[in-house]
């Protein structure tokens, strides 16, 4: 498998670029399939269904939509009906929809998990209470106090879904898009027999970004990337034998010194600074990444130096915008149903449809997925990261499902940062499994943002204040 990863790295990123259009893998799908979308009101659902409809040679089957918000469920069913009607072969697909997943799980081949427990009801708590303790978050949904409490709200429902799946569709492959990715995958591995892979788009997006910054064609770029979700490292980056890092580091120094002529280059400073000091570029945006680190958000002068608008590090970016984004998504669906907005997109780089196609056609294809470091037992996929943790690595997909590739050791400074975050995820996932407030406190004691500005006593007080504020969404925690 290590040799397969080497060859895959040399092959570049074929199949996941934005201009993939209707292209696909060779062969035909020889059976109808059933795909269940959990949290079907999510923004992922229409794009993933559009992607599946564009798989060449697919025979159709069932799209089963599940959402406890019946208004969003009804709207999404209408959008999917329009998608079906607008594409060749759409009439080969049947739609089922229910607020009760047990009505549609039976016979599922794939589960796409996009649930959002509590909706937007807790976003202000997740941001404002930590802010009162001096903890500044940009995104706050995968790590930090906001990320931990999203896990504590989400994982109990997630594990109930997996228990139902074990009973009703034990052979299904579970594709998880819900954050916090690491903790959800970790909790699943500890409690469920279902096969789960966590899917993000940061590897696809960053590989394209690096090719653009280096001025080379993406399909000609050779790269190897591994680590954990939102903190995976491009340890190899070459074009026709040339190491691209000297070129990228020269540009980064210029950008950090404020000497760039391109306004776009003035952004994404946290990732550029980390590349200069740690030796490799990281997969997630500067805003997300800054929350995995103790360096950039603990003082106002550091935020002014390194953090920029939006995903580049803006304080409270998700908390301030997520409710309106959700309302905007609902308005767009109303416009689609009213014929005021077009429905249908080119095939995207989201992994779900490519996994389904590769598995159904038995045509090997590479993705980067979130899996257990000792998936299936044996040696760790990344030898110098915790064996019982969740890592993001290259995976081969074919009829046998998701087959992670063993990686080289990460350089020690990179492994140490991943390891420190994995310790938080370990305790956070277990806190949700056991519904333990004590383990939640211990998890946040290890959080890089919280530890950078708060004492242990302050972290404990903040955690208990969050539990009190969100008690209605955290039943059973002791």
DSSP notation for 160-178: HHHHHHHHH-TTPEEEE-P
DSSP 324: H
Whether the pLDDT of residue 8 is over 60: the answer is no
Whether the pLDDT of residue 23 is over 80: the answer is no
pLDDT value of residue 265: 85
Whether the pLDDT of residue 63 is over 60: the answer is yes
Contacts of residues 308-311 at CB distance under 8 Å and 24 or more positions apart, as own/partner, are 308/266, 308/267, 308/268, 308/269, 309/267, 311/138, 311/139, 311/285, 311/286, 311/287
pTM for the predicted model, two decimal places: 0.94
Q: Three-state DSSP class for 84?
A: helix
Whether the pLDDT of residue 343 is over 50: the answer is yes
Whether the pLDDT of residue 92 is over 80: the answer is yes
In angstroms, rounded to a whole number, what is the distance separating the alpha carbons of residues 149 and 471? Answer: 11
Q: What mean pLDDT do residues 460-476 have? A: 98
Q: Please enumerate in sequence order all residues whose Cβ is within 8 A of that of 327, keeping only pairs 6 or more positions apart, or say none.
A: none
Phi then psi for 374, rounded to 5 degrees? -110, 55
Q: What mean pLDDT do residues 239-263 have? A: 93
Report residue 6's pLDDT band, with 50, 70 and 90 as the boundaries: very low
- Range from 9-13, 234-238, 264-268 carrying the lowest mean pLDDT: 9-13
Whether the pLDDT of residue 14 is over 50: the answer is no
Which residues are catalytically annotated? 201, 292
% of the chain exceeding 70 in pLDDT: 95
Count CA atoms closer than 13 A to 94's CA, side-chain side. 7
Whether the pLDDT of residue 185 is over 70: the answer is yes
Q: Please enumerate in sequence order all residues whose Cβ is within 8 A of that of 38, keeping only pairs 6 or more positions apart, or say none.
A: 66, 101, 111, 112, 113, 114, 115, 161
Q: Please enumerate in sequence order all residues whose Cβ is within 8 A of that of 5, keeping only pairs 6 or more positions apart, or say none.
A: 224, 394, 405, 406, 407
Give the C-alpha distances (Å, rounded to integers) separating 47 from 123, 197, 282, 351. Answer: 25, 19, 26, 11
Helix (H) and strand (E) counts for the chain? Answer: 17, 13
Report residue 18's pLDDT band, with 50, 70 and 90 as the boundaries: very low
Contact 156, 127 (CB under 8 A): no
Q: What mean pLDDT do residues 151-157 have? A: 98
Token pair of 117, please?
Answer: 């427990």
pLDDT value of residue 20: 36
pLDDT value of residue 262: 78
How do residues 318-328 score in pLDDT, each as one tens digit?
999 999 999 99
Whether the pLDDT of residue 460 is over 60: the answer is yes
Q: What mean pLDDT do residues 205-228 have? A: 97
Say if residue 95 is exposed, middle or buried (CB neighbours under 10 Å; 0-12, 13-18, 19+): middle
Report residue 376's pLDDT band, with 50, 70 and 90 as the boundaries: low
Q: Three-state DSSP class for 192?
A: coil
| Of 39, 41, 46, 105, nearest in space to 72 by CA | 41
Torsion of CA 13, 15, 20, 25, to 10 degrees: 160
Q: What mean pLDDT do residues 222-227 have? A: 98
Contact 199, 350 (CB under 8 A): yes
Name the residue with tokens 């027999």: 193
In angstroms, rounded to a whole number, what is the distance separating the alpha carbons of residues 331 and 351? Answer: 27
pLDDT value of residue 69: 97
What H or E segment, with its residue span, contains residue 251? helix 245-256
DSSP 103: G
Q: What are the DSSP calls for 388-431, one per residue?
A: TSEEEEEEEEETTEEEEPP-PPPPHHHHHHHHHHHHHHHHHHHH
Contact 49, 348 (CB under 8 A): no
Name the residue with tokens 């404020």: 258
Whether the pLDDT of residue 5 is over 70: the answer is no
């Amino acid at each position: 498998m290590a040799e397969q990863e080497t060859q895959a790295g040399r092959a570049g990123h074929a199949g996941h670029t934005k201009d993939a259009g209707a292209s696909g893998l060779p062969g035909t799908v020889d059976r109808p399939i059933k795909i269940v979308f959990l949290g079907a009101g999510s923004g992922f659902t229409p794009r993933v269904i559009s992607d599946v409809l564009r798989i060449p040679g697919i025979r159709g089957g069932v799209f089963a939509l599940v959402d406890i918000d019946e208004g969003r469920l009804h709207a999404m069913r209408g959008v999917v009906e329009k998608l079906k009607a607008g594409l060749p072969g759409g009439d080969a697909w049947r739609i089922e929809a229910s607020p009760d997943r047990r009505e549609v799980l039976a016979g599922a081949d794939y589960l796409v998990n996009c649930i959002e427990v509590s909706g937007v009801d807790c976003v202000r708590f997740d941001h404002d209470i930590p802010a009162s303790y001096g903890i500044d978050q940009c995104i706050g949904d995968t790590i930090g106090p906001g990320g931990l409490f999203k896990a504590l709200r989400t994982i109990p429902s997630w594990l109930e879904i997996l228990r139902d799946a074990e009973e009703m569709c034990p052979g299904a492959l579970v594709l998880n898009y819900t954050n916090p990715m690491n903790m959800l995958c970790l909790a699943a591995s500890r409690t469920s027999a279902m096969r789960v892979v966590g899917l993000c788009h940061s590897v696809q997006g960053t590989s394209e970004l690096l090719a653009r910054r280096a001025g080379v064609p993406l399909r000609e770029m050779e790269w190897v990337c591994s680590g954990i979700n939102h903190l995976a490292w491009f340890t190899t980056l070459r074009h026709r034998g040339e190491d691209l890092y000297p070129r990228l580091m020269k540009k980064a120094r210029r950008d950090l010194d404020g000497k760039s002529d391109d306004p776009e280059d003035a952004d994404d400073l946290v990732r550029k600074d980390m590349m200069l000091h740690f030796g490799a570029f990281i997969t997630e945006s500067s805003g997300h990444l800054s929350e995995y680190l103790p360096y950039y958000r603990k003082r106002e002068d550091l935020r002014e130096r390194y953090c920029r608008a939006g995903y580049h590090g803006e304080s409270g970016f998700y908390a301030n915008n997520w409710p309106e984004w959700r309302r905007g998504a609902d308005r767009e669906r109303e416009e689609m149903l009213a014929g005021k907005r077009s429905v249908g997109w080119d095939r995207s780089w989201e992994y779900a449809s490519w996994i389904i196609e590769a598995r159904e056609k038995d045509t090997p294809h590479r993705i980067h997925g979130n899996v257990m470091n000792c998936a299936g037992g044996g040696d760790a996929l990344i030898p110098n990261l915790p064996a019982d943790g969740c890592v993001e690595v290259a995976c081969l997909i074919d009829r046998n499902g998701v087959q992670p590739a063993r990686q080289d050791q990460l350089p020690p400074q990179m492994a140490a940062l991943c390891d420190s975050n994995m310790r938080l995820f370990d305790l956070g996932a277990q806190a949700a499994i056991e519904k333990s407030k004590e383990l939640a406190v211990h998890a946040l004691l290890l959080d890089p943002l919280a530890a950078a500005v708060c004492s242990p006593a302050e972290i404990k007080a903040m955690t208990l204040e969050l539990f009190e504020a969100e008690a209605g969404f955290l039943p059973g925690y002791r």
